[in-house]
Structure 1
Amino acid sequence: MKTFHHIGLPTDESHPGEYFVEDTKVWVTDPRKHPYKVEYLRFEPDSPVTGPVRNLPHVAYRVDDIQAELLGEQVLIEPFEPSPNFTVAFILKDGAVIEFMKFENESDLPWR
């Protein structure tokens, strides 16, 4: 299964309802609360995220098996858990940044 979830847009501006992801030192918004499923990402200056994930928009898909999606792909960020029961990874495919998300329930997502 691969289902569209949101688009992510890097920004330098703070947005209401941001959530801090400690592992990547980035503030993110909840795309479920945006009418067009947009997630804003505001990186701290010392964020370990560099390159395309930090500088380009991304398209995110909910998947059943992240490892299967990564096979043969240019992995930008290996799978990690920004919160319990929620795993993400990023690839670069044809010049586009793609995020894969694995979770059982929407309530597993870190945004509250």
Structure 2
Amino acid sequence: MRKINHIGIPVQKPVSGEMYNEGMQVYLTDFTKSPNKIEFLRFDKNSWMPEKIQTLAHIAYEVDNLDGELENAKVLLPKTIVNEHLTIAFIEEEGIALELMQFN
């Protein structure tokens, strides 16, 4: 079952409170500090991240079984370990990117 966690919105200009994630080559804000659970993302111009993630808003869902969610899905970004508590992946559904988040 999917549970909405946050909404990610790509931006072109710096946003107050953004932090840099070197591995993903993106500046992002902490959605847990947003009353509307919004994460702003500003990508480096040479970012390797897929275009749909860089240019379109995404919905992030918490899932219990990330591997199961990835079966038969159109994967944009394979499973990526963020830290010891979180693994993510991005898939495409209905023409947009969805972030799937499994907390350990």
The answer to whether TM tops 0.5 is yes
**How many Å apart are 1:81 and its aligned residue?**
1.5
Seq. identity, % = 36
Partner of 2:80: 80
Q: For 1:1-112, what aligned pairs fall within 5 Å after superposition?
A: 1-104=1-104
8 Å contact kept, 1:9–1:40: yes
Q: Compared with structure 1, are the counterparts of its residues 103 and 19 closer, same or farther at alpha carbon in structure 2 (3 Å cutoff)?
A: farther
- Find runs of 4+ consecutive structure 1 residues off by over 4 angstroms: none
Distance in 1, matches of 2:102 and 2:50, equals 23
Distance in 1, matches of 2:50 and 2:62, equals 23
Structure 2 counterpart of 1:50, one-letter code: P
Distance in 1, matches of 2:88 and 2:38, equals 17
8 Å contact kept, 1:23–1:82: no
Distance in 2, matches of 1:50 and 1:100, equals 15
Structure 2 counterpart of 1:6, one-letter code: H
Distance in 2, matches of 1:3 and 1:19, equals 25
Distance in 1, matches of 2:98 and 2:19, equals 21
Q: CA RMSD in A?
A: 1.2
In structure 2, stretches of 5+ residues that fail to align are: none
In structure 1, stretches of 5+ residues that fail to align are: 105-112
Q: Compared with structure 1, are the counterparts of its residues 22 and 82 closer, same or farther at alpha carbon in structure 2 (3 Å cutoff)?
A: farther
